[in-house]
Chains A and B, each alone.
Chain A
Amino acid sequence: MNSMQLESTKETPKIILDKEKEILEISGISVPEDVLKFYKPILYWLDEYILNPNEETNVVFKLEYFNTASSKLILDILFKFKSLKDKGNKVLIRWYHEEDDADMLLAAEMYAELTDLEFEYIITEFE
């Protein structure tokens, strides 16, 4: 399966989707004008990954800011991983946030409740 890599821009996050290296990572800022255009290829990649996943799937979310339109697409991504979990695969979401960033933590907890996925919360400092 081909890997997918996108460098971060001022409005879109860095994306690494690499099955061989077992790296699934979304990091940076997500405030694009057209969220569907940006996230659709990612969702398609995940559809393919789900058909033939690694034994364990660890997903890194390291988001500094995202708009509410992105928050919907992040949920869509998490639902893909939920379907993987529902099939009996091991999935862990590693959610990075700044210390005391209650709002980002709140968002993550909301996602955890909606998807029933296992979240690990890790403190980081954004540049």
Chain B
Amino acid sequence: MKKLKNLKTSRTLGRLFDFHQIMLNEHLYMLYQGMITHEIMRAFLSVFKFMIKSLISKKRKALRKATIIMIECLQNVAMHGANEKNKKLNRHPSIFLFGTSGNKYVIETGNLIRHGEITRLETRLDDLNKLDRKSLKSLYKGKLSKTSISKKGGAGLGLINVAILSGEDLEFNFKKINKSYSFFSLRIKIANN
């Protein structure tokens, strides 16, 4: 009986080792699944600050950018994610990933979104991807002086800032989950050199 239990335990721990290998092979540093709240963002900020401290200054610059992008992306999910608003949707929790791909840092977030919100978000992201850095900066500057803080606490500037800091196209995807919701995935890359 004891032998059987040990076998089961080692299988489960074997799974953990597999995850460990996957994360190493995929160059993932952090993977979180669950509710994304302001407190979670704050906890990750402490982790990012810890990582920044341990880096040489050249690499620190890119990680500082990644940190600001992480803050904006997680605050967006906390503010707008359907999972965060409706606990009944906890079968599809939000997800956050941080790692590297080639010489770039990668931040990815995933959360549920109502079908009705897709078109607006898609248009917004497509529009941002069409703009070069100079146009993004002037868009940000123009909006900054006109915008006001919404009831949710946002300024409507987060994605523009993310696009400026990233300097790359914002990659995104919507996957239908059921008749009301889709899973929205967003990937941001940050040059690490």
Residue B56 CB within 8 A of the other chain: no
Interface SS, B side: helix
Q: Which residue of B lies closest to A69 (CB)?
A: B155
Let me know if A69 and B144 touch, CB within 8 A.
no
The verdict on A75 contacting B149 (CB below 8 Å), with A10-B46, A68-B158 known, is: no
Query: Which residue of the partner chain, among B64, B137, B149, contacts A69 with CB atoms under 8 Å?
Result: B149
Contact of B145 among A36, A100, A106, A114 (CB under 8 A): A114
Total cross-chain contacts (CB, 8 A): 75
By size class, the interface of chain B is 20 to 34
| A99 cross-chain contacts in B, Cβ below 8 A | 57
Range for the number of chain A residues in contact with chain B: 20 to 34
Inter-subunit contact B155/A101 (CB<8 Å):
no
Question: Does chain A have a CB within 8 A of B41?
Answer: yes
Which residue in B61, B137, B144, B147 is a CB contact (below 8 Å) of A101?
B61
11 additional A-B pairs beyond A33-B153, A68-B161, beta carbons within 8 Å, are A31-B45, A35-B155, A36-B149, A65-B45, A65-B67, A65-B71, A67-B71, A72-B149, A73-B149, A98-B64, A100-B61
- 14 A-B contacts, Cβ less than 8 Å apart? A31-B45, A35-B155, A36-B149, A65-B71, A67-B71, A67-B72, A68-B154, A68-B161, A71-B157, A75-B145, A99-B57, A103-B164, A110-B144, A113-B141
By a beta-carbon cutoff of 8 Å, the part of chain A in contact with chain B is: 10-11, 29, 31, 33-36, 65, 67-69, 71-73, 75, 98-101, 103, 106, 110, 113-114
